[in-house]
Amino acid sequence: MRRPPAPLRVLSGIQPTGRFHWGNYFGAIRQYIDLQTAGEAYYFIADLHALTTIREPTRLRSLVLDAALDLLALGLDPERATLFVQSDVPEVTELTWLLMTVCPMGLLERCHAYKDKKTRGLPADAGLFTYPVLMAADILAYDATVVPVGEDQVQHIEVCRDLAGTFNHLYGDVFTLPKPRLVEGGAKVPGTDGQKMSKSYENTIDVFEDPGPQKKKIMRITTDSRPMEEPKDPEGDPLYQLFSLVAPQADRDAMAATYRRGGFGYGEVKKALVEASAAFFAAARERRAELAADPRRVAEILAAGAERARLQAGRVLGRARAACGLERGAAAPRRRP
């Protein structure tokens, strides 16, 4: 039996790896949040996936809370989008098993996270190996149609489509096949050393960093050493690129003109960047402080999100169980009237 075509439903998972930096925000998170108006949207904090790397319970707990605060402060609207924590929906882990039974080993052996570890001779656990199957269950449990992700996750969406296709082929039309939506703004966010901004290069500017330390970092951004009088092309300059992310259009145009005219110092640009950054994130910073002072409210938002998510995941899991012969109670002895 065919199901009616699925409505646009956006879903993405966010690993709680620490405070968001500008690369995370401008490269991905901002696009995810913008998509909450495109259709139905589900966003979750992927704490089960995080368990493959974080093994300190206190740290994991605080990282999950930080991620929730950051997302809400940056504009994720719990009235529009369903925000929840991955592990609050146990249906997903059950679905993971069903998908595991149709997943060829070879498919997972080709996945990069596992493959990279193996080529480097490092030990890998089954959690890392089966990471893409849990991710497939994350997506399929909500009948998601569009999954915004960075380049590094596209392979996992392919695995998800593959598993959904196999399951549907074996058991009927159970799962909705999702499509990846590549968000790749991250490449355009330079770090304080001019390389791509990344935690592993220790060159990040964090979104909610305290103004003092943030200013210090910005004032230390590496610049070229051409003489001040020389006119410069703003486009290739990392400092200008960072300024462009947070400054209003008029200020950007004025700054570009200053570059082309020459005769300015990078110190002035850095000061302008400090101010533009403070103004750009001021409202979000205030919202974050308010939410951080009200942990009950955050807990309520996440609980309401989990409830909605479980309702949806329960329906899909029910479909999947029935399709493969796991009707609940089917094997139980019948009660006599």
Query: Where do the DSSP E strands lie in the chain?
Result: 9-14, 40-45, 81-85, 146-149, 179-182
Binding map of ligand TRP across residues 77-116, x = CB under 6 A, - = no contact: ----------------------------------------
Cα 273 to Cα 322: distance, rounded to the nearest angstrom: 57
Q: What single DSSP character describes residue 180?
A: E
Least CB distance to ligand TRP at residue 150 (A): 7
- Closest contact distance (angstroms) between CB of 120 and ligand TRP is 19
**Which amino acid is residue 294, in one-letter code?**
D
Among 73, 139, 174, 189, binds ligand TRP (CB under 6 A): 139
Residue 153 interacts with ligand TRP (CB under 6 A)?
yes
For the CB of residue 15, give the shortest distance to ligand TRP in the complex, in Å. Answer: 4
**149 contacts ligand TRP (rule: CB under 6 A):** yes
Q: How many residues bind ligand TRP (CB under 6 A)?
A: 12
What is the DSSP code (8-state) at residue 272?
H
Cα gap 115→134, rounded to integer Å = 17
CA-atom Rg of the chain in angstroms: 23
Which residues within the stretch 7-36 sit at the binding site for ligand TRP (CB under 6 A)?
A: 11-13, 15
Q: What is the nearest approach in angstroms of ligand TRP to the Cβ of residue 99? A: 13
Query: Among 66, 138, 143, 209, which residue interacts with ligand TRP (rule: CB under 6 A)?
Result: 138
DSSP assignment letter at 151:
G
- List the helix and strand counts (H, then E) for the chain: 15, 5
DSSP 27: I
For residue 334, the one-letter residue type is R
User: What positions carry a catalytic annotation?
Assistant: 117, 196, 199
Structure-token pair, residue 22: 């500008």
Nearer to ligand TRP, 73 or 137 (CB): 137
By beta-carbon proximity to ligand TRP, the closer residue of 99 and 135 is 135
CB of 182 to ligand TRP, least distance (A): 12
State the minimum distance, in angstroms, from the CB of residue 138 to ligand TRP. 4
Among residues 49, 232, 270, 310, which is the contact residue for ligand TRP, using CB under 6 A?
49
Q: Report the C-alpha gap between 78 and 299 in whole angstroms.
A: 12
Residue 180 makes contact with ligand TRP by CB under 6 A: no
Give the residue, chosen from 135, 159, 221, 313, that forms a contact with ligand TRP under the rule CB under 6 A: 135
Interacting stretch for ligand TRP, rule CB under 6 A, among 135-143, 209-217, 294-302, 326-334?
135-143
| Residue 309 touches ligand TRP, criterion: CB under 6 A | no
Order of strands, sheet of 40-45, starting from the edge strand that comes earlier in the sequence = 81-85, 40-45, 9-14, 146-149, 179-182
Q: For ligand TRP, give the closer residue by CB, 148 or 238.
A: 148
Pick between residue 138 and residue 209 the one whose CB is nearest to ligand TRP.
138
Nearer to ligand TRP, 32 or 243 (CB): 32
Return the residue nearest ligand TRP (CB atom): 13
- Smallest distance from ligand TRP to CB 213, Å: 27
Task: Please state, in angstroms and rounded to a whole number, the distance separating the CA atoms of residues 131 and 135.
Answer: 6
Decide: is 147 part of the binding site for ligand TRP (CB under 6 A): yes
Give the Cα separation of 145 and 88 in Å (integer): 22
Q: For 21, list phi and psi in degrees, rounded to 5.
A: -105, 175
- Determine whether 193 is exposed, middle or buried from the number of CB atoms within 10 Å of its CB (0-12, 13-18, 19+): middle
- Crossing angle between the packed helical segments 249-261 and 238-246, to the nearest 10 degrees: 160
Per-residue tokens: 29:
């998170």
In this complex, which beta carbon is closest to ligand TRP, that of residue 150 or of residue 234?
150
Residue 137 contacts residue 48 (beta carbons within 8 Å): no
Amino acid at 2: R
Residues that bind ligand TRP (CB under 6 A): 11-13, 15, 46, 49, 135, 138-139, 147, 149, 153
